[in-house]
Amino acid sequence: MTRRQSPEPFAWLLFSAGGTVTALMFPVLLFLFGVAIPLGWLSAPDHAHLLAVVRNPITKLVLLGLCVLALFHWAHRFRYTLYDGLRLKRLSTVIIVGCYGGAALGSLLAGYIVLRT
Amino acid sequence: MSSTAGPYRRPVSLFWWLERRSYLVFVLRELSSVFVAWFVVYLLMLVSAIGGGSDSYQRFLDRSDQAWMLVLNIVSFLFVLLHMVTWFGLAPKAMVVRLRGRRVPSRAILAGHYALCALLSAVVAWVVLR
């Protein structure tokens, strides 16, 4: 008998790592750039400062790691949301390709944007 | 009637998650991933705008100030908070930490996650706003 290797544990590992980093970092980032700065509660940082921040190799590493893990977290959870919430388990193949494929394409795009800055 | 009929399955409505409060919280928690994905898009738009020069950064700031974008981001923020609370709430069940042969109590693991989150938030705010 051959042992079937399932990619499921790997997908779950990415989901889990992504869940943790997004829970730790997304609230503050979203609050700053999505709520507090647009509403004028905090003044917008000037461009030169932010450019220096995003060009720092440590920032690039953090941003890229956050984006990739968050996307695979989304892919895994959204896959099961479609299965359970909308009862679409019969479309399993399409959903798997769409979710993880979307996350992979998004990761490539994230790499391109973060590394060229 | 053929004998091949399987066991009876109660038909489940498409709106099963409205039946109970705990189901609703479950579905909202699962939906948080959509807002996580949206914030990745928003973050990449921000980084791209910063890389594009001060004019494109200014255009990003103007866009982030529009009503629909603000509403979307406030809703996303609430969903990300729900994700944080539910994720940290599960952490003590998912990880068993032993220290000198004793199991670390789940309250300590929970508190540790919030402490780390507070520390990282402070670092991010300092880096962005200094």
Q: Which residues contact B89 (CB under 8 A, 6 or more apart)?
A: B110
Show residues of chain B in contact with A67, CB under 8 Å: 40, 43-44
Subunit contact A34:B36, Cβ cutoff 8 A: no
Domain ranges of chain B: 16-79, 95-130
Task: Identify the closest residue of chain A to B86 by CA–CA distance.
Answer: A23
- Chain A contact for B42, CB < 8 A? yes
ipTM above 0.85, yes or no: yes
Mutating which of B80, B85, B109, B130 best tests the A interface, going by the most A Cβ atoms within 10 A? B80
C-alpha dihedral over A82, A83, A89, A93, to 10 degrees?
60
CATH no. for B16-79: 1.20.1300.10
The predicted model gives A83-93 an average pLDDT of 82
Q: How does pLDDT run across B38-83, given as a tens digit for each residue?
A: 999 999 999 999 999 999 999 999 999 999 999 999 999 999 999 9
The alpha-helical segments, DSSP class H, found in A1-117 are 8-30, 47-55, 57-84, 92-116
Query: Measured between CB atoms, which of A27, A71, A80 is closest to B80?
Result: A27
Q: How does pLDDT run across A2-35, given as a tens digit for each residue?
A: 566 788 888 999 999 999 999 999 999 999 999 9
